[in-house]
């Protein structure tokens, strides 16, 4: 009799397993969908066009990631302080022109210059001196005003360093060229005056500076 009393349970067990298995998909189908993860918005940029006789260079200015430096550059653009300025320096680090930089801006023209701005190191902004990066020229940190340079080939050594020796603050990247790198490279390949320039920049001044006709914000 003991064995008979266990018989109904043994008979029903397969049925219960099938019943539970049959219900499981239905419960999954009726469960509310998991909420979608909200993606962080991309950092905002403003596009600026630098018009030159060799073509136009378009730059995406990082207004979110480098707000102080970007606002300064956009003010120079808005107040037309870069109109009629020039690219005046070309530093070619390799003979084939694959690495180097060009420098432009107001050259401390007292009629164009605005007060210097606080330094925004790449260690704070997360930006870097990659190919096409645009960055502020300066002497000591906190002296940048209206001169800038554009990187060809990538120069990460200009980023802020953590060596603890000398001036390790690096230079303040505030955007990147999005169109017109061929113009940048043409300026880099332009002839320089071997006797022009002072100190470390001697021999890097363009024999014929490339005029910036207009600097304008684009929609």
CATH code (residue 187) = 2.40.100.10
Mean pLDDT of the chain: 88
Q: What are the φ/ψ torsions at residue 43 (nearest 5 degrees)?
A: -60, 140
Q: Please choose, from the candidates 70, 60, 88, 73, the residue with its C-alpha nearest in 3D space to the C-alpha of residue 205.
A: 88
Pick from 92, 177, 166, 79: nearest CA to 133:
177
Q: Per-residue pLDDT for 65 more than 80?
A: yes
Q: Which residue has the higher pLDDT, 39 or 176?
A: 176
Q: Which of 14, 16, 36, 33 is nearest to 24 (CA)?
A: 16
Residues 114 and 145: beta-carbon distance below 8 Å? yes
Q: Which residue has the higher pLDDT, 13 or 74?
A: 74
15 domain residue, yes or no:
no
Beta-bridge mates of residue 26 = none
Closest CA to 149 of 198, 201, 110, 114: 201
Q: How far apart are the first and last CA of the chain?
A: 90
Position 20 in a domain? no
Q: Name the residue with higher pLDDT: 55 or 21.
A: 55
Run of H or E including 30: helix 7-30
Question: Residue 150 falls within a domain, yes or no?
Answer: yes
Q: Is residue 13 part of a domain?
A: no
Q: What is the mean pLDDT of residues 177-193?
A: 98
d(CA 86, CA 6): 97
Please name which of 100, 111, 202 lies closest in space to residue 158, comparing C-alpha atoms: 100
| 63 domain-assigned | yes
Total domain count for the chain?
1
User: What domain range is 107 assigned to?
Assistant: 45-218
Whole-number pLDDT of residue 1:
44
Task: State mean pLDDT over 14-39.
Answer: 52
């Amino acid at each position: 009799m003991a064995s008979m009393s266990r018989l109904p349970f043994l008979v029903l067990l397969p049925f219960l397993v099938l019943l539970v298995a049959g219900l499981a998909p239905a419960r999954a189908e009726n469960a509310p969908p998991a909420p979608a993860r909200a993606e962080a918005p991309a950092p905002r940029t403003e596009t600026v066009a630098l018009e030159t006789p060799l073509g136009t260079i378009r730059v995406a200015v990082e207004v979110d990631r480098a707000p102080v430096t970007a606002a300064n550059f956009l003010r120079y653009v808005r107040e037309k302080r870069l109109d009629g300025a020039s690219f005046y320096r070309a530093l070619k680090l390799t003979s084939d022109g694959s690495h180097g930089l060009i420098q432009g801006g107001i050259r401390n023209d007292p009629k164009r210059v605005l007060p210097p701005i606080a330094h925004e190191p790449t260690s704070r902004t997360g930006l870097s001196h990659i190919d096409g990066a645009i960055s502020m020229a300066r002497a000591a940190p906190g002296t940048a005003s209206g001169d800038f340079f554009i990187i060809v080939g990538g120069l990460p050594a200009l980023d802020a360093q953590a060596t603890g020796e000398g001036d390790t603050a690096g230079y303040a990247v505030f955007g990147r060229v999005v169109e017109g790198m061929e113009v940048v490279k043409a300026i880099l390949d332009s002839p320089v005056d071997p006797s022009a320039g002072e100190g470390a920049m001697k021999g890097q001044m363009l024999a014929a500076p490339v005029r910036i006709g207009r600097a304008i914000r684009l929609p």
